[in-house]
Amino acid sequence: MADPSSEHLIEGEKPGIRPETAAAWVKEARAGHPEAFAELVRTHQRLVLALARQHTRNGNEAEDLAQETFCRAYRDLSRLRNPLRFTAWLCGITINTVREWRRKTRNDRIGRNPLLSLASERQVEIESPPSSSDRAEQVMALVARLPKRLRVVVTLRYVEGLPYVRVAARLGIGEVAARSRLHRAIRLLRKAMQSERLRGSE
């Protein structure tokens, strides 16, 4: 049966060293020889960088993530049970580092979502305000429940950030109608948030 970790190895980017050689460098690095870990970085940096690029599609971010991967590997080297599996272990660290970056990037994007203005404390009283990411998730879930014609206008205005004139043009309606439709959607969202708050306090 194939090693499940082999799925992380990118064809043409596999390190050109034997597992035994990498294992020997791991043991030397653990013994306090930094030049041994430098060899591990030199022989694996193309693999780690290619793997990070494959999952981020962003060269600059991939370089930062590759550097973070090697920092974590050096810090946790004592936790590697089988030095012969260093390459697969390093790929696993790379994938986890990328996943954490994706999660943080997603949370940052949600935190900047203009829809959060709909859940401000002045509009909806919240006894114990949740985090901004939680509020954004709540608002987006409520938006998804709106009728399609209202959901679309909210998305165009708050998610895509279009001005009213362009929202109206995209929908093929007048600007006044677009504003009216948006205001109706906001009223429904606020009412829904109030209901969610009341249910949560029961």
Structure tokens of 66? Answer: 């590759």
Least confident interval from 16-20, 46-50, 122-126: 122-126
pTM: 0.51
Domains of the chain from N-terminus onward = 4-111 (1.10.1740.10), 114-201 (1.10.10.10)
Q: What is the mean pLDDT of residues 84-94?
A: 94
> Which among 101, 103, 72, 68 is positioned nearest to 89, based on CA atoms?
72
pLDDT band at 140; cut points 50, 70, 90? confident
Q: Is the pLDDT of residue 116 over 90?
A: no
Rounded CA-CA distance 79/35 in Å is 19
Q: Is the pLDDT of residue 71 over 90?
A: yes
Mean pLDDT of the chain: 78
Query: In the chain, how long is the greatest CA-to-CA distance?
Result: 73
Q: Is the pLDDT of residue 124 over 90?
A: no
Q: What is the mean pLDDT of residues 130-157?
A: 76
Rounded CA-CA distance 80/29 in Å is 12
pLDDT of residue 6: 39
